[in-house]
Amino acid sequence: MAQAQVDAQRRILRLKLNGRWREDAVAENQLLVEYLRDVVRLAGTKTGCDGGECGACTVLVDDQAMPSCIMLAVRCEGRSVETIEGLASQGRLHRLQRAFHDKLGTQCGFCTPGMIMAAEALLRRNPQPSDSDIRTALSGNLCRCTGYVKIIESVQAAAETTS
């Protein structure tokens, strides 16, 4: 989206994105999801609603799952932001990606990046989550395809895999 930010002040944003520091000039009112998709051109993070309703835009900010559609990019100054693109490394799928693929935790795939990032935040703070821990952690992420059954199985399978 070629969003005009004519009225907004711009400033230099410095953040660590998927492990690498970078600097960009961003408008002060630019949302994190717009920054990721339109400035950095990482389109893996999705928008599914009009703000904070569906969780498709979930990214990690300093290890915490955050909806990037209701967070300003400038609030990430000096912080670490991780997106779905940062998970796979050196040609290997991350354990959550592997599990969501193998167990069909993804169907249409649109909620998947946000779902995986929310699950990653959970596994980082709670490596062996119970069924109810998983349900609580992912309750802000809507999926319309799976009925969530295979999503829970995917997160459980990933938790049982050593990363």
Residue of the chain from 40, 93, 133, 156 that contacts other proteins (CB under 8 A): 93
Nearest to 84 by CA among 54, 53, 110: 110
Taking the least distance from each CB to other proteins, the nearer of 78 and 125 is: 125
Q: How far apart are CA 6 and CA 124, in angstroms?
A: 40
Considering the rule CB under 8 A, would residue 151 count as an interface residue with other proteins? yes
Considering the rule CB under 8 A, would residue 161 count as an interface residue with other proteins? no
Considering the rule CB under 8 A, would residue 81 count as an interface residue with other proteins? no
Phi and psi at residue 74, to the nearest 5°:
-65, -20
Q: Which x/- pattern, by CB under 8 A, does the window 6-25 give for other proteins?
A: xx------------------
Nearest to 103 by CA among 163, 45, 155: 155
Count CA atoms within 13 Å of residue 52 on its CB side.
Answer: 4
Taking the least distance from each CB to other proteins, the nearer of 70 and 78 is: 70
Count CA atoms within 13 Å of residue 126 on its CB side.
Answer: 14
Partners of residue 24 on adjacent β-strands:
13
Q: How far apart are CA 73 and CA 91, in angstroms?
A: 29
Considering the rule CB under 8 A, would residue 88 count as an interface residue with other proteins? yes
Considering the rule CB under 8 A, would residue 100 count as an interface residue with other proteins? yes
Considering the rule CB under 8 A, would residue 104 count as an interface residue with other proteins? yes
Residue of the chain from 16, 40, 135, 156 that contacts other proteins (CB under 8 A): 135
Considering the rule CB under 8 A, would residue 29 count as an interface residue with other proteins? no
> At a CB cut-off of 8 Å and minimum separation 6, what does 21 contact?
14, 15
Where does this chain bind other proteins (CB under 8 A)?
1-4, 6-7, 37, 42-50, 53-54, 56, 83-85, 87-88, 93, 96-98, 100-102, 104, 106-113, 116, 134-136, 138-152
